[in-house]
Amino acid sequence: MINNWLDILILAIIVITFVLGLVKGFLRMIIGIAAAIAGLIIAAIYYRPFSHVFDRMFSSEVWAQLVAFAVIFIAVLIIGALVSFLLSKVVKGPLRFIDRVLGGALGLVEGVLICGVLVIAQLAFPVDKEALMRSSLAPYCYWLTKGMVQVIPRELKEKFKETYQEIVDAPRDHGEKI
């Protein structure tokens, strides 16, 4: 089941977001999901102009764009976390238990969304195609990424589709296609 670093990362993200959902609760998790969606949209729009900040750090334009995309996405997640922390101070008493159970469920959803963004980034900026091809868990993220990619700019969408088709058409380790 776990074939490479991408599988480990996907599994870790889902487990961590579930546990965090239980701890944080529904209110904080719903804001986290909104931040993840906003982060994807904002990163997809602004990664290219922001990538020039990283041009001197990386010899590859693809790496600079990938890092810019990640920095923007993570910054929006951090802002969302700060807002959710402040709002969570409102929920107290018996509602807290219900808030936490619903938070665990939303944690799973957020983990899947974050994994979808991870796969979109890997498909749009194919730094390690081999990891995508060998991954056991990434194919489960593909259906989500196809829906999420509809909200990103055309240029990034074309990069995604090109690499996505390459990965889908490639034979898997056991000889099957995705």
Highest mean predicted confidence (pLDDT) among 79-83, 87-91, 111-115, 135-139? 79-83
> Over the chain, what is the mean pLDDT?
84
pLDDT in tens, 111-147: 988 888 888 788 777 778 788 888 888 878 777 777 7
How large is the average pLDDT for residues 165-176?
64
Give me 10's structure tokens.
Answer: 């996907």
Alpha-carbon distance of 30 to 23, in angstroms, equals 13
Backbone phi, then psi, for 56, in 5-degree steps?
-75, -20
- Count of CA atoms in the C-beta half-sphere (13 A) of 162: 9
| pLDDT surpasses 50 at 176 | no
| pLDDT surpasses 90 at 24 | no
| pLDDT surpasses 90 at 177 | no
Going from N- to C-terminal start, the domains of the chain cover 5-169
Q: Which sign, positive or negative, has the C-alpha torsion 47, 167, 5, 35?
A: positive
Give the pLDDT band (50/70/90) at residue 173. low
Return the higher-pLDDT residue of 82 and 140: 82
Per-residue pLDDT, 1: 64
| pLDDT surpasses 90 at 12 | yes
